[in-house]
Amino acid sequence: MSRGRWRTWAALLLPVIALVALLAAASVRRDRALAIGAALARGDTPPVPAVVLRALPAGQSPSSPGEVALRSLRGHPVVLNFWASWCAPCRAETPLLERLARDYEARGLLVVGVDTQDLEAPARAFLGQYGVTYLNLRDPDGGVGRLFGTTGVPETFFIDAAGRIQGKFPGEQLDPAIWRRAADALLAGRRPVP
């Protein structure tokens, strides 16, 4: 094959190869995002993804506890709630989570919020408005939410002390009794169910 023909074929094939590579990468990311939900549906308990997020200072406090690796929370059962300041159902759910955090703190349960796809100033104002005292982390671009396979906010994951995801609430939950049952189940080593 002549050099001119080779260049023509290369010029035609290179964009096709690049497109195939991009589609393959997108498919892998989508499959990873769906993996947690699919594993839970099968009855499996997938591990918490190895991610580090910046802590969000509450209210108007300028200080922040720095960065937090989700895996560093092992040793405690964790209620991990994805939320955003612009989310109307989150406004109704946040006081229930604050109550849960206070009522179960002595038993070792951690409630952790993940502010996702949100601006920091409104998120801090939201935490101040609702008197949130539990740890909150930032996921400004929604990447961690996608890694967990969230489909919107609010969405809550229940993680055991070994760092395995035991279950989730795929939307808002406004019944305090259901939150208590889920927390009790998590502390007892059972799968929380909505």
Give the residue from 146, 172, 192 showing the smallest Cα distance to 45: 192
The pLDDT value given to residue 10:
64
Residues 6+ apart with CB under 8 A from 95: 130
The pLDDT value given to residue 126:
97
As a whole number, the mean pLDDT across the chain is: 87
Q: Which CATH superfamily is domain 46-187 in?
A: Glutaredoxin (3.40.30.10)
Confidence tier at 137 by pLDDT (50, 70, 90): very high
The backbone torsions φ and ψ at residue 169, rounded to the nearest 5 degrees and listed phi first, read -100, 115
pLDDT at 152 over 70: yes
What distance in Å separates the CA atoms of residue 53 and residue 144, rounded to the nearest whole number? 9
pLDDT at 28 over 90: no
Start-end of H helices in 50-119: 88-104
Strands (E), the chain: 52-55, 67-69, 78-83, 110-116, 136-139, 155-159, 165-169
Confidence tier at 59 by pLDDT (50, 70, 90): very low
- Taking residues 86-113, report their average pLDDT: 97
Q: Could you give the percent of the chain with pLDDT greater than 90?
A: 71
C-alpha torsion sign, points 100, 134, 45, 169: positive
For residue 154, whether the previous peptide bond is cis, meaning omega lies within 30 degrees of 0, is: yes
Give the residue from 134, 141, 166 showing the smallest Cα distance to 43: 166
Q: Order across the sheet with 67-69: list the strands.
A: 67-69, 52-55, 136-139, 110-116, 78-83, 155-159, 165-169
User: In the chain, where are the structural domains located?
Assistant: 1-44, 46-187
Model pTM? 0.81
Radius of gyration of the chain (CA): 21
**pLDDT tens column, 85-99:** 999 999 999 999 999
Decide: 63 and 57 in contact? Cβ < 8 Å.
Answer: yes
- Taking residues 111-127, report their average pLDDT: 96
